[in-house]
Amino acid sequence: MEHLVCEEVNQLRQDARSVVRELGLLNDAYFEIGVTLAERHLLIELNTCQAPTMGEIAERLLLDKSTISRLVAKAVKKGYVTCFSDAHDKRKKFLSLSERGKSVLEAFEPIAFTQTREALLMLSQGQVETVYRGVSLYAEGLKRARLQDRQKADALPAKVESLPEITEQLLSHGYLLEVFDSKDETGLYEIFQEVVSSGSQFIIENASLEEFRKQFFTDHLYVCRSSSGDVVGGFYIKPNYSGRASHIANAAYMVRTSHRGKGLGALLVKASLHLAKGLGFEAMQFNMVLSENRIALRLYKKLGFTIVGTIPDAVRTLDGGHQEGYIMYRKLGESYE
Ligand SMILES: CC(C)(COP(=O)(O)OP(=O)(O)OC[C@H]1O[C@@H](n2cnc3c(N)ncnc32)[C@H](O)[C@@H]1OP(=O)(O)O)[C@@H](O)C(=O)NCCC(=O)NCCS
């Protein structure tokens, strides 16, 4: 569609503006009900899902964190929405439609329905079908452009600064988490060699530098350094699949043997979950956790992963036998305690 000319783009923009004005969407409050457009979208979404979190609603409405917080705070103040905490984790907040919210929804929904119905009644059957198809295609185009922009942003490493709590916890243990730099290669490669040679933690058999680069050099590679500057661990995050399943992330972690059992692995997994969420992923999946890798299994379960599939005799053991491989999965949320 390189041939698109300015006039064509502007024509669609002008028509879209006319639709917005005709629908009365420029009014702060919807007719006399006093509900804004953003509030209407919020109430409609809350009516279709059960007690979602603030993050889930933000994702549905395509809003950033601060905008959704302001919107929800205003809706709570107006009595449309109630906000309650998880019984076990006070930081996790759920939203639901209040009785007042329900009655406001019942007031504006028929107005919007009638407005649309009356507009469609002015058109022939063929024209109505063209409207359905045209609006749906325009929405699809906007969505594709948004996802493409996100993919471009995903190609940059997510910022470690976005994790103040974890960074602080790591610092209190004397560790610093940073985006991988070429000077970290030797240190991280040493850990890779340790892990591969154990024969029971990764399925990888080849411990060459080339294999290390092939496995670990992704767009989002992080290292953890000790106070003396040595690389003591690291992890990568990448899409587990491509195309329509690119919203599920995959990651792999390694901690230097001499630094294991001190809580570093748990902090790295938590950091990766936050970073993956920040990159726009919706879930995390590991494709082959070895049944003999009890430490990793225990750690992942503790951080909310469940085994969603077992592959029998998936991996050869060093003694010539076999072990199972587990597919582990968790959705990405707000906190990971
Ligand atoms: C998996 C791995 C990253 C965990 O790192 P770590 O720094 O040891 O993790 P933690 O210190 O946070 O410990 C995690 C849990 O394992 C336990 N653990 C760690 N080392 C242990 C050991 N040698 N023996 C028994 N338990 C151990 C910890 O006690 C902790 O359990 P808890 O929270 O119930 O007390 C690390 O073992 C590693 O690099 N393994 C090799 C690579 C690997 O297997 N990656 C995952 C592939 S799927």
- Measured at the alpha carbon of residue 62, what is the angle toward residues 241 and 334, in degrees to the nearest 5? 70
Q: Which residue spans within 98-183 are E strands per DSSP?
A: 176-179
97 φ, ψ (degrees, to nearest 5): -75, 130
What is the CATH topology of the domain spanning 6-122?
A: Arc Repressor Mutant, subunit A (1.10.10)
Interior/surface letters 118-139, b for 16+ CB within 10 angstroms, e for the rest = eeeeeeeeeeeeeeeeeeeeee
Residue appearing with tokens 């709570």: 76
d(CA 262, ligand 1 centre) in Å:
8
Beta-bridge mates of residue 222: 179, 235
The crossing angle, in degrees rounded to 10, of helices 54-61 and 37-48 is 120
Contact predicate 33/108, CB 8 Å:
yes
Residue located nearest, by CA, to atom 26 of ligand 1? 295
- Classify the C-alpha dihedral 46-49-55-61 as positive or negative: negative
Q: What is the pLDDT along the chain (337 residues), one digit of tens a residue?
A: 556 788 889 999 999 999 999 988 888 777 678 899 999 999 999 999 888 988 889 989 999 888 999 999 999 999 999 998 877 777 678 999 999 999 999 999 999 999 999 999 999 999 999 999 899 889 888 988 887 776 666 555 667 777 888 888 998 888 999 999 889 999 999 999 999 999 889 999 999 999 999 999 988 999 999 988 899 999 999 999 988 999 999 999 999 999 999 999 999 999 999 999 988 899 999 999 999 999 999 999 999 999 999 999 999 998 999 999 999 999 998 777 7
Give the residue among 221, 329, 215 at the shortest CA–CA distance from 282: 329
Residue appearing with tokens 């698109």: 4
Residues lining ligand 1, Cβ inside 6 A: 195, 201, 252-255, 260-266, 286, 289, 293, 295-296, 298-299, 302
Give the residue among 272, 257, 280 at the shortest CA–CA distance from 304: 272
d(CA 234, ligand 1 centre) in Å:
13
Give me the residue spans of the domains in the chain. Answer: 6-122, 160-331
d(CA 296, ligand 1 centre) in Å:
6
d(CA 91, ligand 1 centre) in Å:
27
DSSP labels, 263-330: SHHHHHHHHHHHHHHHTT--EEEEEEEETT-HHHHHHHHHTT-EEEEEEEEEEE-TTS-EEEEEEEEE
Domain 160-331 belongs in CATH node 2.70.98.60: no
